[in-house]
Structure formats: structure tokens, C-alpha cells
């Protein structure tokens, strides 16, 4: 086998020449940094060293005042304490979360813009719209799943129905006359009410809202008669609303007196909404890891857990890869739920 020296035309016994250092201003600067002991940044750590360099915007695709908005504000405030920059919650509501979600999908992938993504955004909308302004998998970098929560069917106290079966009987006696608040196509309240209407064989007047913030006051004021919601248990305890049933698999620890839909005679009405955090696709992995660590740290704090679980939510902090797997599995699951409910994409 020929040696490299002979192949190159140089005698194997010839002395090796020392390579000349590169000339020019860049080489001189590098040499100076090495002489004074300044470390050179490794490419893989560049994102982490520069992040965060300004406040982090946490976009909530709902109106202020709802459960999703609360989670972002509570967790964001505690993240600000250790992140080194403020986490600023920005509400961009409307179009079943499409407005805020598209905004984040198109934002710079540097970690300074996050989305409080929900089951609506990532798993339900793909089956309700023929054309989305974002791809739920390709356009986002998963950070962590925060929590899941059942939807509670709450009514105005004046409605003469105290159980789900009594409500169904009333709706059949007054077809198309009971006003049901929803939070837009694809929202958890919309999906839960569609499942309930399909299982019960009833028709209601759907009144759309941009979130729980404006819907719950209208329910308490009597402008609507019923609502599937996940922020209203405090008003139930105060006697301003009545809880009929909820869509979870078992009774809630914070409201054990409220039966499940399964117990109430509607076994197909099992539904959870969930919240998680995503960033624009191509956000550096080290930045994603930093954001995951900050969110998970905040979720372990006692005061944060108390506020999030007050309405019966279950905290589910996971890693980015696990959340990505969960999103893909939920897209499949909700596709079946929507097809079985007979909902057609727009």
C-alpha cells in the first residue's frame, strides 16, 4: 500500500513543515483571545449563551380572563424570577386560536416568542378546517405539556334542570330554544357540547364567545342558559352557577359532588382539553431545553399547582420529545372524536 508521503511526492524522511497560521485581522483577533484566556463559544451552546436577550412574549390565543390565560400569567410570573428577563403575556384571541397560533408560527425561532397551545390549536383544528394557516407538527417546536382538564357543564340557577337527564328532557321539550355558550368552532366548550348534543339527540342555540372571560359573566347574567367550561367552579361554590356534570373519567377531587357524564347516562361524552407550550419550528434545541426547564420548575411550585388544579386540572409536565409524541397521538384521537360526532370541516 502506498504511503501518503510517496503519493504526495514527498520523501517519507523529509522533515515536516509546521502549518502557517492564517493571516489577517480575524486570525490576529483569535490569537489575542487565546493569549488572554478568552474561551471560544462552542456552536452548540451559542443559543443558550445568547438566550434570553430580551423579554419573552407568551402568546395566549384567547381573550383575557379564562383558564388558559390564567395559566400563562401564573407560570410566566414565576419564570420571570429565574429566566433573567420578563415573560410578557400577550392575548391574540379569535378564529378558534388561529390568529395567535399563526402569529407564533411565523415568529423568529429564537425562543423569545412562545405559544400557550391547546388541544384546539394542535389536535382539533386540523380536522375542522380544510386549510390551516399553520401545520400543527411542522411549524412548532414542542416545549412541554402543562395540564389537562375536564369540561364542566354549568347552567344558570334559574334553568329548571338539576341533572344532565333533566336538561336533555327540557331541551327536547324546547327544541332550539336553550342558549348554549361556546367559545368558537373547535374550542373545548364547542367540542364538549357537540359530543353532548350528539349523544343526547338534542338541538341548542349555540352562542359563540372568544373565551371563558366574556362567556361566564353572560351565563351568570342570564344571557345564556348553559356552558361547558373549565373555569367556573368558584362561581358554583358561591351559588351563582349550577354544575350539572363533567366530561372526565372520574369525579374531580375539588368537586366530588359533581357526577361525570358517564355516571349521568352518557358514556360517550368523555373529553379533556389540555394546554401546552410550543415555540416556532427551528428554535435551537438548547433554547427549547432551557424553556422546558423553566416551565417545569414553575409547575412544581406549590402556589402554582394550587391555582392550576383549583378547577380540577391535572398537571402533566413532560419533556419536549414526549410532548411531541402526545401531540401526534392526540391528532389521531380527536380525528376519530370529530368524525364520530359528525362534524364536517369548513
| Domains identified in the chain, total number | 2
Tell me: pLDDT of 56 over 90.
yes
Q: Which of 246, 262, 282 is the last residue of a domain?
A: 246
Q: Which of 203, 229, 246 corresponds to the end of one domain? A: 246
pLDDT at 50 > cutoff 70: yes
> Is the domain of 276 the same as that of 335?
yes
Q: Is residue 32 part of a domain?
A: no
CA 336 – CA 342 distance, rounded (Å): 10
Domain range spanning residue 190? Answer: 152-246
pLDDT at 44 over 80: no
**Could you tell me the pLDDT band of residue 341, with boundaries at 50, 70 and 90?**
confident
Residue 66 has pLDDT above 90, yes or no: no
Angle CA(261)–CA(264)–CA(268) in degrees, nearest 5?
Answer: 45
Question: Which single residue is written with the C-alpha cell 378564529?
Answer: 95
Asked if pLDDT for residue 5 goes beyond 60, the answer is no
Task: Read off the C-alpha cell for 228.
Answer: 361547558
308 close to 74: Cβ distance less than 8 angstroms: yes
DSSP string, 250-296: S-BTTBTTSPBTTTTT-TT---EEEEEEEEETT--HHHHHHHHHHHH
294-322: average pLDDT: 95
CA distances from 166 to 144, 170, 216, 265 (A): 40, 6, 22, 11
**pLDDT score, position 339:** 87
Specify if 125 maps to a domain: yes
Q: Read off φ and ψ for residue 302, nearest 5 degrees.
A: -60, -45
CA distances from 294 to 61, 150, 258, 279, 342 (A): 21, 26, 35, 14, 41
Domain containing 213 — which CATH number? Answer: 3.40.190.10
For residue 272, CA distances in Å to 147, 176, 191, 269, 291 come to: 10, 26, 10, 10, 25
* Predicted confidence (pLDDT) at residue 182 exceeds the cutoff of 50: yes
Give the pLDDT score at 166.
98
Does one domain contain both 126 and 59? yes
Tell me how crowded residue 270 is: count the other CB atoms within 10 A of its CB: 17
pLDDT class of 213 with cuts at 50, 70, 90 = confident
CB neighbours of 333 closer than 8 A, spacing ≥ 6?
123
Residues 116 and 62 grouped into a single domain: yes
Q: Is residue 218 in a domain?
A: yes
Per-residue pLDDT at 8:
40
* pLDDT tier, 96 (very low <50, low <70, confident <90, very high otherwise): confident
Cell 361547558 locates to 228
Higher pLDDT, 12 or 135: 135
Statement to judge: residues 176 and 236 lie in one domain: yes
- Span 85-93, average pLDDT: 97
* Residue 9 in domain: no
Sequence-ordered list of residues with C-beta below 8 angstroms from that of 86, at least 6 positions apart, any chain: 55, 56, 80
**Shared-domain flag, residues 212 and 277:** no
DSSP code per residue over 130-165: SS-SS-TTTTEEEEEEEEEEEPEEEE-TTSS-SSHH
Phi then psi dihedrals of residue 165, to 5 deg: -65, -40
Q: Which one-letter DSSP state was computed for residue 211?
A: S
Q: Is the pLDDT of residue 231 over 70?
A: yes
Residue 294, phi then psi, degrees to nearest 5: -70, -40
Q: CA 75 to CA 295: how far, in whole Å?
A: 7
Residue 230 counted as domain residue? yes
Question: What's the whole-number mean pLDDT along residues 15-25?
Answer: 47
Are residues 202 and 67 located together in one domain of the fold?
no
Q: Is 282 inside any structural domain? A: yes
Last residue of a domain, one of 193, 211, 246: 246
Mark whether 200 and 285 lie in a shared domain: no
- Residue 283 sits in the same domain as residue 139: yes
**What mean pLDDT comes out for the span 271-279?**
95
CATH of the domain at 289: 3.40.190.150
Residues 142 and 159 in one domain: no
Cα separation, 74 vs 316, in Å, equals 16
Is the pLDDT confidence value at 150 over 50? yes
Query: Of 46-55, 113-122, 334-343, where does the model show the most confidence?
Result: 113-122
**Per-residue model confidence (pLDDT) at position 241:** 98
Residue 178 in any domain: the answer is yes
**Over 60: is that where the pLDDT of 301 sits?**
yes
The CA distance from 321 to 328, in Å, is 11
The pLDDT value recorded for residue 49 is: 57
* Same-domain check for residues 97 and 174: no
Instruction: pLDDT band for 146, please (50, 70, 90 cuts).
Output: very high
161 and 126 in a common domain: no
Among residues of the chain, what percentage have pLDDT more than 90? 72
**Are residues 165 and 134 part of one domain?**
no
The yes-or-no verdict on residue 281 having pLDDT over 90 is yes
Could you tell me the pTM of the whole model? 0.75
Q: What percent of the chain has pLDDT over 70?
A: 86
Q: Other CB atoms closer than 10 Å to residue 40's CB: what's the count?
A: 8
Is 45 within the bounds of a domain?
no
Q: How far is residue 15's CA from residue 247's CA, in Å, rounded to a whole number?
A: 81
Confidence at residue 336, expressed as pLDDT on a 0 to 100 scale: 87
Amino acid at each position: 500500500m502506498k504511503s501518503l508521503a510517496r503519493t504526495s511526492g514527498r520523501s517519507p524522511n523529509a522533515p515536516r513543515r509546521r502549518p502557517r497560521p492564517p493571516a489577517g485581522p480575524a486570525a490576529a483577533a483569535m490569537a489575542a483571545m487565546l493569549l488572554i484566556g478568552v474561551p471560544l463559544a462552542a456552536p452548540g451552546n451559542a443559543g443558550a449563551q445568547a438566550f434570553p436577550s430580551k423579554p419573552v412574549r407568551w402568546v395566549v390565543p384567547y381573550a383575557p380572563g379564562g383558564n388558559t390565560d390564567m395559566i400563562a400569567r401564573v407560570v410566566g410570573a414565576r419564570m420571570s424570577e429565574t429566566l433573567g428577563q420578563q415573560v410578557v403575556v400577550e392575548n391574540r384571541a379569535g378564529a378558534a386560536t388561529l390568529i395567535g397560533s399563526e402569529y407564533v408560527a411565523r415568529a423568529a425561532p429564537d425562543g423569545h416568542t412562545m405559544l400557550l397551545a391547546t388541544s384546539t390549536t394542535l389536535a382539533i383544528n386540523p380536522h375542522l378546517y380544510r386549510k390551516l394557516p399553520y401545520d400543527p407538527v411542522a411549524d412548532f417546536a414542542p416545549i412541554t405539556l402543562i395540564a389537562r382538564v375536564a369540561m364542566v357543564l354549568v347552567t344558570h340557577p334559574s334553568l329548571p334542570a338539576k341533572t344532565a337527564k333533566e336538561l336533555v328532557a327540557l331541551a327536547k321539550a324546547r327544541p332550539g330554544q336553550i342558549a348554549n355558550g361556546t367559545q368558537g368552532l373547535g374550542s373545548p366548550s364547542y367540542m364538549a357540547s357537540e359530543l353532548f348534543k350528539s349523544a343526547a339527540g338534542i338541538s341548542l342555540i349555540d352562542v359563540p364567545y372568544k373565551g371563558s372571560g366574556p362567556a361566564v359573566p353572560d351565563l351568570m347574567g342570564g344571557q345564556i342558559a348553559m356552558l361547558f367550561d373549565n373555569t367556573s367552579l368558584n362561581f358554583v361554590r358561591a351559588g351563582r352557577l349550577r354544575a350539572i356534570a363533567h366530561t372526565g373519567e372520574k369525579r374531580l377531587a375539588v368537586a366530588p359532588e359533581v357526577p361525570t357524564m358517564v355516571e349521568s347516562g352518557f358514556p360517550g361524552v368523555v373529553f379533556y382539553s389540555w394546554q401546552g407550550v410550543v415555540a416556532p419550528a427551528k428554535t435551537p434545541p438548547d433554547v427549547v431545553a432551557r424553556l422546558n426547564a423553566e416551565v417545569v420548575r414553575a409547575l412544581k411550585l406549590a402556589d402554582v399547582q394550587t391555582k392550576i388544579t383549583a378547577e380540577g386540572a391535572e398537571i402533566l409536565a413532560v419533556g419536549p420529545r414526549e410532548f411531541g409524541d402526545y401531540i401526534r397521538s392526540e391528532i389521531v384521537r380527536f380525528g376519530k372524536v370529530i368524525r364520530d360526532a359528525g362534524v364536517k370541516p369548513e
